[in-house]
Amino acid sequence: AQSVTQPDIHITVSEGASLELRCNYSYGATPYLFWYVQSPGQGLQLLLKYFSGDTLVQGIKGFEAEFKRSQSSFNLRKPSVHWSDAAEYFCAVGDPPGLGGYQKVTFGIGTKLQVIP
Amino acid sequence: DTGVSQDPRHKITKRGQNVTFRCDPISEHNRLYWYRQTLGQGPEFLTYFQNEAQLEKSRLLSDRFSAERPKGSFSTLEIQRTEQGDSAMYLCASSLPLMNTEAFFGQGTRLTVV
């Protein structure tokens, strides 16, 4: 069964500092990989996704993520954090291409990001 | 295109009552998903539809839960005889049935069982 580990429950960074959120997954092949962001009381917004190809993926709001097959990781990064980035971030894995498209997705527990002035 | 719409946004109910939530997917998205998110956890898959067919159900979807999508457009999720453990955010998402695509989520329905 697929699983996702986000080892950091809470992270606090200063505004303007760089950010890296960790994500490790367990899956038999290369899955679909996603990062979503959720503001309090809101739904999920997709930041970026990896299906295949270039292992460095650019997303919205200045985020990027790098897929590392050897480490089963898909860490999210941002060079300079803004106060509006404070939210909860979820890494997720889905069935890989070839199985009919997006189906059920397994989410990690989430990392709550706090940004201090 | 107004995105995935869920109604109501909040629901407070007494234990033992039945509740029903509605989800309107993005038009042309024939896949529809339900997830449940409890406090401090990530969303957990409940079920998904392709058109009106319910293709997969999680073990989390007990007998008290039923989801329908009768005409392949909107969907409803009903919980019968609610329990306090059902308190959660219920998220709906939709997608196209394409290989390299993603799901778009609604803002969720927050259920509180008292």
pLDDT of residue B52: 93
Q: State which amino acid sits at residue A30.
A: T
Mean pLDDT computed over A40-65 = 92
The partner residue sitting opposite B56, judged by closest CB among A32, A104, A107, is A104
Q: Which residue has the higher pLDDT, B113 or B102?
A: B113
How far is the CA of A116 from the CAs of A13, A95, B106, in angstroms? 6, 37, 29
User: What's the pLDDT tens digit per position in B30-72?
Assistant: 899 999 999 989 999 999 999 999 988 988 888 999 999 998 8
What CA–CA distance (Å, rounded) separates B92 from B21?
10
DSSP E strand stretches across B25-102: 31-37, 44-50, 53-57, 65-68, 75-79, 88-95
Residue A19: strand pairing partners: A78
Q: How far apart (Å, rounded) are the C-alpha atoms in residues B114 and B97?
A: 38
Cβ–Cβ gap B97/A100 under 8 Å: yes
Convert the pLDDT of each residue in A68-112 to its tens digit. Answer: 999 999 999 999 999 999 999 999 998 765 555 556 789 999 999
Determine phi and psi for B32, rounding to 5 degrees.
Answer: -135, 140
Mean of pLDDT values over B2-28: 96
Question: Which among B97, B102, B107 has the least Cβ separation from residue A46?
Answer: B102
pLDDT reported for residue A99: 57
| Site from B99, B101, B107, B112 to mutate, A interface, most A CB atoms within 10 angstroms | B99
pLDDT at position B2 is 76
**Burial classification of residue B22, based on how many CB atoms lie within 10 Å of its CB (0-12 exposed, 13-18 middle, 19 or more buried):** middle
pLDDT > 80? residue A55: yes
Q: Are B7 and B22 in contact (CB under 8 A)?
A: yes
B101 CB neighbour count, 10 Å cutoff: 16
Whole-number percent of chain B with pLDDT over 90: 75
Q: Which residues of B61-82 are buried (b: 16+ CB within 10 A; e: fewer)?
A: beeebbbebeeeebbebebeeb
Mean pLDDT for all residues in chain B: 92
Percent of chain B with pLDDT over 70: 97
* Average pLDDT of every residue of chain A: 91
- Is residue A67 within 8 Å of A53, Cβ to Cβ? no
Nearest Cα of chain B lies from the Cα of A81 at a distance, in angstroms, of 23
Indicate the pLDDT class of residue A34, thresholds 50, 70 and 90. Answer: very high
- Average pLDDT score over residue span A19-45: 90
CA atoms within 13 A on the CB side of B68: 7
Q: CA triplet A69, A74, A76: central angle to 5 degrees?
A: 150
